[in-house]
Amino acid sequence: MKEKFIKFGKNLVTTEEFVAEGHSFCSGCGEVLALRLACKALGRNVIIANATGCIEVCTSPLPVTSWRVPWMHTLFENVAATVSGIEAGLKILREKGRIPERDIKCVAVAGDGGTSDIGIQALSGAFERNHDFLYLCFDNEAYMNTGIQRSSATPYGASTTTAPAGKFSIGQTTWKKNMAEIAVAHNIPYVATACPSYPFDLMNKVKKGGEVKGPAYVHIFSPCPTGWRHASDLAIEIGRLAVETGIFPLYEVENGRYKLNVDRSKLKPVEEYLKLQGRFRHLLGEEIEKIQEHVNEEYAKLKAKVAALPA
Amino acid sequence: MSKRIGLEASHAAAEAARMADVDVIAAYPITPQTHIPERLAEMVADGELNAAYMPVESEHSAMSACLGAAAVGARTFTATGGPGLEYMHNVLYVASSMRLPVIMTVANRALSAPLSIWGDHSDAMGSRDTGWIQVFCQNSQEAFDMTLWAFRVGEAPGVLFPVMVHLDGFHLTHVTEPVILPEQEEVDRFLPRFHYPFVLDPDKPTTHGAFGPPDIYSETKMAQEMALRKSKTVIIQGFEEFGDIFGRYYHPVEPYRTEEAKTLLLTMGSFSETAKIAIDIKQNKRESVGLINLRLWRPFPLEELRQAVKNAEILIVFDRCISFGGPGGPVSSEIRSALYNHKERPRVVSFIGGLGGRDMSVEDFEYVIDRGREVAEKGSQELFETVGIRGEVTDIRE
């Protein structure tokens, strides 16, 4: 079967869908859009290991499945270990001549909770052991599948069901854990951040991550209308604003060298991003100011890294 | 020609994995299991074994990596014990439920707190219901034999269940004994290549580990239960074929000098060998006692056990684990349930001892037999008896 493509400017995108329609994601979900694009970038030659989470439950209720590529889910906290077993198994079986030589991409898919909280130990171990795999973290900034509980990836000031805004609390009181930099600290060959509002950038990074020899990590910003309480037609706009305000900068780190993929001379005020989302509705001016300062500081740090270690 | 050499039980298990030409080993060190992954790492480093050795960062990841490896069709092995087995507990159910035949040696160890690196069966009992096929070993030879057998049975197309091979921590894992090692050709005759029928393959995409809504979960679990029970046929066949090739025959329930014995003692693992000496002494004194070594723990050999004890009046069951707040030692409770509906059944007396590395001597087992008989004859309201535990055990009746 000859693969068909659609041309978008200079980008060719396959018409093939690897995640079938009929899944049960919420309408307007930014995550499933990112997943669809990521799978198109990866193509057919993959094995996907999936942590428990939105993607897993929305694609695999027995006896049906949305997956047109080989896919395995075992538990919540162990996807990096599972994918490393898949990779090691394929490698040794090839070496022993039991299966044909073939480049099959081993890909782990997880949410922010499965990555930056309960799965971080297994992920660190898999990075350190230098398996040839790509890890995709779909970050919707809370435990959305279980009902919007806070994670270490939830941003400061967001209201969630386990860190709700109330008379005596602004909601989340800690700053978002920087998973991409934790990945960089493992000295792996490729780390990138991506967002479905920038579809070709996302697909290029996933493709690159899949082709790199050794561990690769792509952290994908995944707007969640249900958990962030924004209109279901706003996922793309919110993703774009996250990038344009500097809240979620798009960059890649190849062999320790930094490259900012979207670099605006002037960042938009964070308020433009925050005000579209119910989870930040309770924030007053001074809190927004505090978030603005933090974003400025983090963005400056990133720019300094780009300047010090340019690609 | 097979050869007879001195081998530590841990090394015997590693040797079996080597002769099985295992593909992937993912393990995390924990006393008293360490000699197994150490020996395997050495074999890989020296080129005696061509395998992927994954020095993972935890037992949880060890078992998780094993799942992935088995799902692409790799012959997969690991080892752990005690808290390590508990730490991978969650993953154990996934291995059996997804029918991934991972083979694992468990160096049985007590559970914290207080911390104890020494042996008992608390870890094994905690993993009782995980859906794994489980066997216990008495000595180094069995450590080798059962490991090899585990690959044969677990990977059999009609079985596809993971298998735990239990070795008593220190009492067995660290003991060097003569072991007969077979020729590779004999091993290859016994153990065919592993062909997992549902491999993750881009040319034939399959979905593994989908989630089960309430309208289907119960059916998947019953299917699993039926498959595990059915595996007993292959388990026994595996014992027979093993015997035919290697000359050593094993059974789910192994009676020792039980002919017409009115009192039977039931033990598991390496303590069975000590208990056998106590039985010999008792029989020399013309006492009517015999021993049952329970080898197969899961699937539980109900029929074999009923047959083995049907003529006995008293059955003393020795547990190396406390079921806190429960109706006695976990093994004795199971055996009571297994026999309850049968008209002809012995009185079951529960004994607990050998916890956290506490030794059980021949004399201790003689005491267990004497006291067990006394309790059975006079009747006792206690839930269980203890052996070798200092201090007054106050009345623990309900």
β B52-54/B24-26 pair status = parallel
Say yes or no: B177 and B238 in one domain. Answer: yes
| Residue B393: inside a domain | no
Cβ B69–A75 below 8 Å, yes or no? no
Mean pLDDT by 10-residue block, N- to C-terminus, for chain B (398 residues)? 93 98 98 98 98 98 98 98 98 98 98 98 98 98 98 97 98 98 98 97 97 96 98 98 98 96 98 98 97 98 96 97 95 95 93 97 98 93 91 66
Residue A2 has pLDDT above 80, yes or no: no
Q: Domain span at residue B174?
A: 3-246
Q: What is the CATH number of the domain that holds B176?
A: 3.40.50.970
Tokens read off for A220: 């994908």
Q: Are B27 and B104 in the same domain?
A: yes
Residue B377 C-alpha from the chain's centroid: 32
Q: Point out the residue among A62, A91, A121 whose CB comes nearest to the CB of B52.
A: A91
Amino acid at the residue A298: E
Q: How many domains does chain A contain in total?
A: 1
Query: Does A61 lie at the interface with B, CB-CB under 8 angstroms?
Result: yes
Given a contact cutoff of 8 angstroms between Cβ atoms, the answer to whether A251 and A195 are in contact is no
Structure tokens at B314: 């008293």
Q: How near does any CA of chain B get to the CA of A289, in Å? A: 42
Name the nearest CA neighbour of B131 among B157, B92, B105, B90. Answer: B92
Q: What pLDDT was estimated at residue A85?
A: 98
Residue-level pLDDT at A230: 98
Q: Does A100 touch chain B (CB under 8 A)?
A: no
Query: Please, which residues have CB within 8 angstroms of residue A95's CB and are 6 or more apart in sequence?
Result: B50
| Assigned domain for A10 exists | no
Average pLDDT, chain A: 97
Range of A96's domain? 16-308
Can you tell me whether residue B177 is helix, strand or coil?
A: strand
Q: Does A73 touch chain B (CB under 8 A)?
A: yes
CB A201 within 8 A of CB A9: no
The CATH number given to whatever domain includes residue B272 is 3.40.50.920
Average pLDDT over residues A168-177: 98
Question: Which pLDDT belongs to residue B391?
Answer: 80
- Do B188 and B262 fall into the same domain? no
Query: Residue A50: its pLDDT value, please?
Result: 98
The answer to ipTM > 0.90 is yes
* pLDDT of res. A211: 98
- The rounded distance, in Å, linking the Cα atoms of A295 and B328 is 61
Touching B: A residues 246-285, CB under 8 Å: none
Domain-terminating residue out of B203, B220, B246: B246
Which of A199, A148, A150 minimizes the C-alpha distance to A26?
Answer: A148
Chain A residue numbers with beta carbons less than 8 Å from the beta carbon of B24 are 85, 88-89, 92
Nearest residue on chain B to A59, alpha-carbon basis:
B210
Q: Is residue B272 part of a domain?
A: yes
- A207 vs A198, B185, B271, CA distance in Å? 14, 46, 58
| Contacts with A70 from chain B: Cβ below 8 Å | 200-202, 204-206, 208
- Which one, of B156, B179, B85, lies nearest residue B125 by Cα? B85
Residue recorded with tokens 């995980």 = B130
| Measured distance CA(B122)–CA(B128) in Å, rounded | 10
As beta bridge partners, residue A193 has: A219
The residues, any chain, with a CB within 8 Å of residue B319's CB and separated by 6 or more, are B121, B328, B329, B330, B331, B332, B350, B351, B352, B353, B384
Q: DSSP string of B232-250?
A: HHHHHHHHHHHHHHHS---
CB spacing of A71 vs B91 below 8 angstroms: no
Is B57:A119 a contact under the CB 8 Å cutoff?
Answer: no
Cα gap B122→B116, rounded to integer Å: 11
Taking the C-alpha atoms of residue B26 and residue B44, their distance in angstroms, rounded to an integer, is: 13
Tokens representing residue A262 in the block? 């979207």
Whether residue B8 is found in the same domain as residue B34: yes
Q: How many domains does chain B have?
A: 2
**Taking phi first (over 0 means left), then psi (-120 to 50 degrees means alpha), and beta for anything else, what does residue A158 get?**
beta
**pLDDT tens sequence across A44-90:** 999 999 999 999 999 999 999 999 999 999 999 999 999 999 999 99
Residue A92 and residue B70: Cβ atoms within 8 Å? no
pLDDT at A1: 62
**Rounded CA gap, A249 and A180, in Å?**
11
Taking phi over 0 as left and psi of -120 to 50 as alpha, with beta for the rest, A238 belongs to alpha
Instruction: Give A69's contacts in chain B (Cβ within 8 Å).
Output: 202, 205
Q: Where a domain ends, among B220, B246, B272?
A: B246
Same-domain pairing of B178 and B299: no
What is the distance in angstroms between the CA of the first residue and the CA of the last residue of chain B? 59
Say yes or no for a CB contact (<8 Å) between B69 and A71: no
Residues B154 and B115 in one domain: yes
DSSP string, A162-185: SS-EETTEES--SPPP-HHHHHHT
- The pLDDT value given to residue A249: 98
Q: Which two tokens mark A181?
A: 């930099």
DSSP letter at A196 equals T
Q: Tell me the pLDDT tens digit for each residue of A88-104.
A: 999 999 999 999 999 99
Residue A7 counted as domain residue: no
Q: Last residue of some domain: B190, B224, B246?
A: B246
Shortest Cα–Cα distance, B296 to chain A (Å): 28
Residues of A in contact with B61 (CB under 8 A): 78, 80-81, 84, 121-122, 125-126
Helix axes of B362-378 and B271-284: crossing angle, nearest 10 degrees:
70
Which two structure tokens, joined as six digits, stand for B17? 């994995």
What stretches of chain B adopt beta strand conformation (E)? 3-8, 24-26, 52-54, 76-80, 103-108, 133-136, 163-168, 176-181, 207-208, 253-256, 263-267, 289-294, 296-298, 314-319, 347-352, 385-386
Beta bridge partners of B133: B163
Q: Residue B391: inside a domain, yes or no?
A: no
Please tell me the predicted confidence (pLDDT) of residue B293.
98
